[in-house]
Amino acid sequence: MKASQLLHTAFVCDGHADTFRNIVKKGGDFLRGSGGWHSSLPRMRQAGLNLQIEAVYTSLEEVGPTGTAVALQVFEKIHQTVEASAGRLRLVQGRTQLAELMTRGGQGVLISLEGVDPLLGNLELLDVFYRLGLRAIGLTHNHNSPAAGGCGANPVAGLSEHGRELLDRMSELGILMDTAHLGRKAFDEVLHYYRGPVINSHSCCQKFVAGERNLEDSQIKALADTGGLVAVTFVPKFLVTQGVSTSQDVFRHLEHMVEVAGIDAVAIGSDFDGVDVLPTDLQDPRDLVHLVERMLDAGWSDLDIAKILGGNWVRVLGSVLPN
């Protein structure tokens, strides 16, 4: 009861989902909740989820003009869905829309690019995607991109000259820098070079599960020191070394992130619709209530829980997004 109340009174933001990519590729209707995807407008409303950051992802097989076409299709699908919603779903592109969503309530989406391959190494395309609503970027997926080294590449590159040019322009435009999927070298170079708060939209802790996608304590602290945040993800293989995972495993990583970075620098980035398997009691946004119950069981205050649920995302987005 208390957990559900908190979700419907606090501003709630999930930092990472791949729903619209799936809808473009395999069908479905976000407004009706059809297609069998984790996230949808009805589920957002039932969960009390106000803002979903939607990743536009292209695979390694789609590198090149094909990937650009796929990315544009996903952008178009998001715009069509927002327009068809008759105000029920809003596209957040600046501080004004973010403030309106917070004041009036309801549901919104913010568009992120997961890997810059669709930009084809062309800085001018960044401005085109920006005009289409792009407001956050992760430079790579697991492979190396024209901008930086991915965490699954061999060998792993650092930040390229094109990557540095992208970061400069992102900072000028008001595009959030996401370090998810970066290799260690590129991660360090991005934090040294980028002007502004830096985030990781969906990751877990090396302390519990080793692997390039999980963050060392020093990286978690470094993100906090930029004024950014780290968002815990629900991907089982990042949460546990074997067996099934639950909201308790997510909370264990979340709690450690808070111990390292402080309560003002930690958030949630589920990766809904980016994975087939999820924790047993975190199957879609409506199950966020179980994670809030873990926080309440641990004695966390309503204020601290509200920061994790969305307050910290609001702080960071409010400092980066354009007016």
CATH 3.30.930.10 fits 2-320, yes or no: no
Residue 244, SS3?
A: coil
Q: Residue 131 pLDDT more than 90?
A: yes
Percent of the chain surpassing pLDDT 90: 90
What pLDDT does 58 receive?
Answer: 84
191: its two tokens? 């934090």
What pLDDT does 155 receive?
Answer: 74
Q: Residue 233 pLDDT more than 80?
A: yes
Q: How confident is the model at residue 156 (pLDDT cuts 50, 70, 90)?
A: confident
14 phi and psi angles, rounded to 5 deg:
-105, 125
What pLDDT does 195 receive?
Answer: 86
What pLDDT does 142 receive?
Answer: 85
Strand pairing of 229-232 and 266-268? Answer: parallel
34-66 residue pLDDT tens: 999 999 999 999 999 999 999 998 877 788 888
What pLDDT does 62 receive?
Answer: 81
273-302 residue pLDDT tens: 999 999 999 999 999 999 999 999 999 999
Q: Which pTM was predicted? A: 0.97
Q: Residue 143 pLDDT more than 90?
A: no
164-179 residue pLDDT tens: 999 999 999 999 999 9
